[in-house]
Amino acid sequence: MSPFKKTYVLKLYVAGNTPNSVRALKMLKNILEQEFQGVYALKVIDVLKNPQLAEEDKILATPTLAKILPPPVRKIIGDLSDREKVLIGLDLLYDEIREREAEDQ
């Protein structure tokens, strides 16, 4: 097992403090704390306050979750309530499986 832990860098784009934004953040934090406690960095970006960031990152709808690191960049738009879909959509579930398989060898 590698002594270095992989760090996941994520950005959650929301539009203000709407019920959808609050729900997306709550669901995401639950997933991250259960699956990646201590090995992730999450930045929440309010596109109403920072529209230039949304434009630069080509965000067309909110909520949008982007996995920045490790590559490749992956994005999920909309509902984040399904844990497995979020992990698969961000290619995180497969990372987790590959790491476990590597440790078993």
Query: What is the maximum alpha-carbon separation in the chain?
Result: 48
Residue type, 15: A
Is it the case that residue 19 has pLDDT exceeding 80? yes
What count of Cα atoms within 13 Å lies in the side-chain half-sphere of residue 69?
A: 10
Contact 96, 35 (CB under 8 A): yes
Per-residue confidence (pLDDT) for residue 2, from 0 to 100: 44
Between strands 8-14 and 40-46, the pairing is parallel
Q: Which domains does the chain have, with CATH numbers?
A: 8-104 (3.40.30.10)
Instruction: Inform me whether the pLDDT recorded for 91 exceeds 90.
Output: no
Average pLDDT over residues 71-81: 92
| Full-model pTM | 0.82
Contact 50, 18 (CB under 8 A): no
